[in-house]
């Protein structure tokens, strides 16, 4: 269950806007019994409380995802067990003075949102669907993700020296009844050759002239915020008059920061070019290490002719590959615009960091393209939106595909190794919980005191 909890919590935060906040003050168990609580405290772990709403929210998420095994009560006990485990890890982080750098939190937030943006097709579509900006989502998620990273670090410390030998892996495999062997779904290995349409200098000049027109109107007395609402192409900030909120150094585009941190209160910048497009910036508040600015973003548009030229260019590369003039790998190195060309153009699964995808992990457009290919075949040009929200085209190659099958020790040793290692780790973690529970104040209200794991903890502590 622990492998899906973090993912579901993150999904739940997107669906609900944010997770339920922890009680505004720590309550003792006597407070719980006297009903002087917020949102019905179900359990107390050290200085942390677990709320009924947390259990109910996760229970609903499991139902939505189809993770329903056993009775309603047993599943809720498992959820509570996992929450107690997470809070014990946080307690241990305090004891061991384990900290997580804010830069690590930022990187993890960026990684997760890259995945969710890819599922929606663009940042704008995600923001439009939920009615809030990615930056607002990240701020709401920051504490959740920070705690998850702390928990992961502590958990890693607990099992870091626990390995498994090939002999143990084979013994584990022999113990599994055939019907209990995991089903390995079809897996895809896909590579790409990317071309992005070239934006002409004439189109860039048109955008610059438009922004200069806005700048002139602002200097004559028009409201920067009003023009941002009307014309800025950054949907997250446009509805707030272009205001970004407080940002520190290293959090924005370098070219944007170089200008923003030099502006005085109310000052309007010249035109600033970044990967996102062209900006006008107005300083709201400068605290030296942090700034709050407004901006108007205009993105140069790619003309239909340039789009067609890009498709034609890829068509010519496709034909050269089919004739054998270039291998796909050589063509990727020579012609692809994506930095992954140095690694063969392989797509990276954002959930695992590997080159392996199951069908549900692939972008639907990618799946429907490669699923029609034979292994080794290359597709015709396919349109897509890059992670920088730019329109582009690519050739896709189905490098490898495995068919669904029962896991076996010969072809799936790595997967069986991982399963066996996780089982061994889980045993160590379960023992760690029982041992360390005696060092932490843990109480559960009557409705959940019958959960088997809690009885184990009580017996150990007594």
pLDDT in tens, 267-313: 999 999 998 899 999 999 888 788 899 999 999 988 888 999 999 99
pLDDT in tens, 106-125: 888 888 887 787 777 777 78
Instruction: Give yes or no for a contact between 63 and 461, defined as CB atoms under 8 angstroms apart.
Output: no
Residue 450 DSSP SS3 = coil
Q: What is the mean pLDDT of residues 237-258?
A: 88
Backbone angles phi, psi at 363, to 5 degrees: -55, 135
Which of 22-36, 84-98, 221-235, 364-378 is the least confident region? 22-36
Radius of gyration of the chain, Cα coordinates, nearest whole angstrom:
27
Residues of the chain with CATH 3.10.50.40: 186-198+303-403, 201-298
pLDDT in tens, 136-181: 888 888 988 999 999 999 988 889 989 999 999 999 898 888 888 8
Neighbours of 44 (CB within 10 A): 23
Task: Identify the pLDDT of residue 39.
Answer: 67
Distance from chain centroid for Cα 86: 20
CA distance 149 to 2: 14
Task: Identify the pLDDT of residue 22.
Answer: 28
Q: What is the mean pLDDT of the chain?
A: 83
CATH number of 201-298, picked from 3.90.550.10, 3.10.50.40, 3.20.20.30, 3.40.50.2300: 3.10.50.40
Query: For residue 304, what are the contacts with CB-CB under 8 A and spacing of at least 6?
Result: none
Higher pLDDT, 59 or 196: 196
Q: What is the mean pLDDT of residues 433-455?
A: 72
Evaluate whether the domain defined by 186-198+303-403 bears CATH number 3.40.50.1860.
Answer: no
Superfamily grouping for domain 2-170+411-461 = Porin chaperone SurA, peptide-binding domain (1.10.4030.10)
CA distance 196 to 338: 9
Q: What is the mean pLDDT of residues 235-263?
A: 88
pLDDT in tens, 376-385: 999 999 999 8
pLDDT in tens, 359-410: 988 999 999 999 999 999 999 999 998 877 788 999 999 999 988 888 888 8
CA dihedral 331, 336, 340, 342 (to 10 degrees): 50
CA distance 141 to 131: 16
| N residues, the chain | 462
Residues of the chain with CATH 1.10.4030.10: 2-170+411-461
pLDDT in tens, 66-87: 655 667 777 888 888 888 888 8
Band (pLDDT 50/70/90 cuts) for residue 251 is confident
């Amino acid at each position: 269950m622990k492998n899906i909890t973090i993912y579901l919590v993150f999904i739940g935060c997107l669906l609900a806007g944010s997770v339920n906040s922890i009680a505004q003050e720590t309550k003792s168990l006597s407070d719980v019994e006297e009903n002087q609580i917020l949102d019905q405290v179900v359990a107390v772990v050290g200085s942390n409380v677990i709320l009924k709403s947390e259990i109910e929210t996760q229970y609903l998420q499991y139902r939505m995802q189809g993770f329903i095994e056993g009775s309603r009560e047993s599943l809720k006990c498992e959820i509570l067990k996992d929450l107690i485990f997470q809070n014990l890890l946080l307690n241990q982080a305090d004891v061991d003075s384990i900290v997580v750098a804010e830069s690590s939190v930022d990187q993890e937030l960026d990684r997760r949102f890259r995945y969710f943006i890819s599922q929606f097709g663009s940042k704008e579509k995600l923001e439009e669907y939920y009615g809030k900006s990615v930056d607002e989502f990240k701020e709401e998620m920051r504490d959740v993700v920070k705690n998850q990273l702390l928990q992961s670090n502590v958990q890693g410390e607990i099992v870091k020296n626990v390995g498994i030998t090939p002999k143990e892996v084979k013994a584990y495999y022999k113990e599994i009844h055939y019907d209990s062997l995991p089903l390995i779904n079809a897996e895809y290995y896909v590579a790409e050759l990317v071309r992005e349409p070239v934006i002409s200098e004439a189109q860039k000049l048109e955008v610059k002239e438009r922004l200069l027109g806005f700048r002139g109107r602002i200097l004559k007395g028009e409201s920067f915020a009003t023009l941002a609402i009307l014309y800025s192409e950054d949907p997250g900030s446009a509805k707030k008059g272009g205001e970004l909120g407080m940002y520190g150094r290293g959090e924005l585009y370098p070219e944007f920061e170089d200008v923003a941190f030099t502006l005085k209160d109310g000052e309007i910048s010249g035109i600033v070019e970044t990967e996102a497009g062209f900006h006008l910036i107005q300083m709201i508040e400068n605290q030296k290490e942090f700034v709050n600015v407004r901006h108007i973003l205009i993105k140069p548009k790619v003309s239909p002719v340039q789009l067609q030229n890009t498709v034609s260019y890829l068509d010519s590369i496709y034909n050269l590959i089919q004739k054998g003039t270039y291998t796909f790998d050589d063509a990727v190195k020579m012609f692809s615009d994506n930095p992954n060309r140095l690694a063969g153009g392989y797509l990276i699964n954002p959930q695992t960091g590997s080159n392996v995808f199951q069908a549900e992990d692939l972008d639907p457009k990618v799946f429907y393209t490669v699923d029609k290919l034979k292994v080794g075949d290359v597709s015709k040009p396919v349109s897509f939106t890059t992670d920088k929200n730019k329109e582009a085209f690519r050739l896709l190659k189905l490098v490898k595909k495995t068919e669904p099958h029962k896991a076996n020790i010969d072809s799936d040793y790595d997967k069986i190794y991982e399963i066996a290692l996780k089982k061994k780790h889980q045993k160590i973690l379960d023992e760690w919980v029982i041992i360390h529970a005696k060092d932490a104040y843990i109480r559960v209200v009557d409705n959940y005191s019958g959960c088997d794991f809690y009885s184990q903890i009580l017996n150990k502590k007594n």
